[in-house]
Amino acid sequence: MMHDLNRSIMLAMKIKQIVWFILTINLLLSVRLSAEVITDGTLGGVAMNLPGPDYQVEAKLGQQFGGNLFHSFSDFNLNQGEKATFSGPNTVSNVISRVTGGNRSHIDGMIRSTIPKADFYFLNPAGIFFGEKATLDINGSFHASTADYLKLGEAGRFAATHPDNSLLTVAPPSAFGFLGQSHAAITVQDSKLQLSENNRLSLTGGDLFIINGQLHAPSGGITLNSMAGMGEININSNQINPPHFQGGEINLSQNAQIITNTNNTANAGDIFIRAGKFVIQDEVSISSDTKSDAQAGKITIVADRMMMTGKNTGNGTFISSKSHKGGDGGIINISATEAIDIRGRSLINASAYKTPQNAGQVIIQTNDLQLADDATIDVRTRSTQGSGNGGEILIKAKTLTMTEETWMIGDTANQGQGGKIDIDADRVYLSDSSAIASVTSGEGPGGDISLNAGSLFLFGEATITTDSTATGTAGNIALHVNHPFVTDSAKITSDTLGNNAYVRKRQGQANLAIRLGAKPNGDFTGGGGHAGTVCFSQQGEECDNNSLIAILAKRLPEKQDIENCPGNNQNDLLLVLKPRIGLLDSPDDLR
């Protein structure tokens, strides 16, 4: 009896699997076979099923108001090898299409426009899917959205959810409008959507998924907006109304690419991304680089939460606004109200490569910033020629955590200034050989490191350092910290010929606990310049006799450099390590 019951259960499970398989095949076949472009009859005459596979969407099928040419479809789908060609007079500036039938658009062919310099808008509130063979042949910008309506100027509206609520005008598109709290997704999978130079590509909808897909707008711009609430998004400024608009999810994975690089005299395009949750993983690249004498672009990311994860093999995941030739590096500005997690060979890079120009800026503002597993923020200038400066890393967070060999680095290899690193946080944790470093390997001075924190914890061979490996002087280290704790072979160093390194209290009573397991050896060679000092201007407990902060030097500093240490007076605790001298209890011991 039990045996028969088990056989029945197994048979039922097999039947269920077969049914699901058949349904899946039917769904795929229906998508393949039902590709069609059908007008809905609300504009330009009666509803019409256009003949394919080369669908001709002429101006007479829609309505023109000034520079706006409007089209309305009940269904819009393209199979592989098919294309929809939009045509019209040269007076058209915007080709604006909507899909009103309630079915998602599956685009696996070409969307083409023969109207010179006309921008193209495509709205389907039911969703949009770009498949492997989806391509664009458009002379202007391209905007795809699952918005409920497109706002025209101040008062006009082209509605896709409720077509009867439309008010067509000659005013250009000004905003995407969303009704309700839930919106359909836009997916780009295995396809390459590319525009000609100096044009903008935008995706605005509910959740956005780019899976092994590529968005290319060279010297133009790319905008990704994910929304999960009611309101409007301005097309040109990306401002939202109301201001506290709830965002959805943007997920980039499996070698997805967002590229606005430049190879000519035009600057690289800007990239703007806004979401509630922003996830990038599996060798994704977001790039606004310059490979000419033009400037790298600006990358702006606004989210509640951001997770950036690379693979331990391959190229990793990166966000890049760097210079490869004669232009400056760009600006990468990331803001998340809750948390940013960067890990797994992830790189945020605004460096200058093979160029005498300047590196760019990386600006990060969040509540909780975590770097782990070989993640790096890099604003180096790597050319050995010229006087290009390293960039800036500016961090503002409540908590900064760096573990598993992560880096913030701002170097110079030429006559320029090294990169500046400025951190403002309530709590800072560094461990597992992680480092905050500004290094000069050329004639230029190293950059400064400034850290303003309530608590600082360094352990597990973590390092804060300004180094010089050549003739340039190392930069300053300024630690304004209430409660620093350094232990387990961690180091705060101005390695080789720096200027000054000092630690001050930030406010109130400061308790200093420094227990370094590392023993500086002083056996360095080469270089030239001045070593640094470490000054503690603080109140409360002093270090015990075994406490140490090391300034490692290739050559001894002059006496006056020690006496000019910021805040140096009889009430300060001054610790200086020099070969054959050791620890000094006070400035008087230098006399």
Distance CA 27, CA 44 (A): 32
Q: Are 163 and 169 in contact (CB under 8 A)?
A: no
Q: Is residue 2 domain-resident?
A: no
Q: Which two tokens stand for residue 586?
A: 């006070």
Asked if residue 322 has pLDDT above 90, the reply is no
Q: Which two tokens stand for residue 252?
A: 């980039």
Q: In terms of DSSP bridges, do strands 63-65 and 68-76 run parallel, antiparallel, or are they unpaired? A: antiparallel
- 568 burial class (0-12, 13-18, 19+ CB within 10 angstroms)? middle
Question: pTM here?
Answer: 0.83
Q: Is residue 515 domain-resident?
A: yes
| Most confident of the following: 2-6, 29-33, 56-60, 379-383 | 56-60
Q: Which two tokens stand for residue 384?
A: 């050995």
Could you tell me the residue range of the domain that residue 276 belongs to? Answer: 264-412
Predicted confidence at residue 382, as pLDDT, reads 60
Rg (CA), the chain: 30
Residues 393 and 298 in one domain: yes
Q: Is residue 211 domain-resident?
A: no
Tens digits of residue pLDDT in 407-416: 998 866 656 6
Q: What is the mean pLDDT of residues 82-108?
A: 98
Residues 408 and 452 in one domain: no
Residues 398 and 491 in one domain: no
Distance CA 147, CA 98 (A): 10
Q: Is residue 425 domain-resident?
A: no
Asked if residue 136 has pLDDT above 70, the reply is yes
Q: Are 192 and 169 in contact (CB under 8 A)?
A: no
Residues 452 and 406 in one domain: no
Q: Is residue 58 domain-resident?
A: no
Q: Which two tokens stand for residue 222?
A: 């790319």
Tens digits of residue pLDDT in 438-473: 877 666 677 888 899 999 998 888 988 887 665 667
Which residue, of 412, 430, 461, is where some domain finishes? 412
Tens digits of residue pLDDT in 44-68: 788 999 998 999 999 999 999 999 9
Residues 467 and 356 in one domain: no
Which residue, of 412, 434, 466, is where some domain finishes? 412
User: What total of structural domains would you count in the chain?
Assistant: 2
Distance CA 134, CA 29 (A): 18
Q: Which amino acid is at 589?
A: D
Residues 6+ apart with CB under 8 A from 342: 308, 348, 369, 370, 371, 372, 375, 377
Residues 364 and 478 in one domain: no
Q: Is residue 112 domain-resident?
A: no
Q: Which helix (H) or strand (E) holds 75?
A: strand 68-76
Tens digits of residue pLDDT in 539-571: 333 333 333 344 333 333 333 333 333 444 433
- Give, as one character, the DSSP assignment of residue 397: E
Residues 392 and 463 in one domain: no
Q: Which amino acid is at 261?
A: N
Predicted confidence at residue 285, as pLDDT, reads 95
Predicted confidence at residue 193, as pLDDT, reads 98
Residues 6+ apart with CB under 8 A from 436: 402, 407, 408, 421, 423, 430, 449, 451, 463, 464, 465
Distance CA 25, CA 29 (A): 6
In SS3 terms, 421-476 reads as EEEEEEEEEECCCCEEEEEECCCCCCCCEEEEEEEEEECCCCEEEEEECCCCCECC
Q: What is the mean pLDDT of the chain?
A: 79
Please enumerate, as own/partner, the contacts of 234-238 that have beta carbons within 8 Å and a separation of 24 or more.
234/174, 234/175, 235/143, 235/173, 235/174, 235/175, 235/176, 235/202, 236/174, 238/272, 238/274
Residues 457 and 589 in one domain: yes
Which residue, of 365, 388, 412, is where some domain finishes? 412
Residues 342 and 396 in one domain: yes
Q: Is residue 329 domain-resident?
A: yes
Q: Is residue 171 domain-resident?
A: no
- Give, as one character, the DSSP assignment of residue 2: H
Tens digits of residue pLDDT in 363-409: 999 999 999 999 999 887 665 455 667 789 999 999 999 999 999 98
Asked if residue 164 has pLDDT above 90, the reply is yes
* Residue from 353, 287, 297 nearest 325 by CA: 353
Residues 371 and 502 in one domain: no
Q: Which helix (H) or strand (E) holds 27?
A: helix 2-33
Distance CA 361, CA 298 (A): 9
Tens digits of residue pLDDT in 227-251: 999 999 999 888 877 777 789 999 9
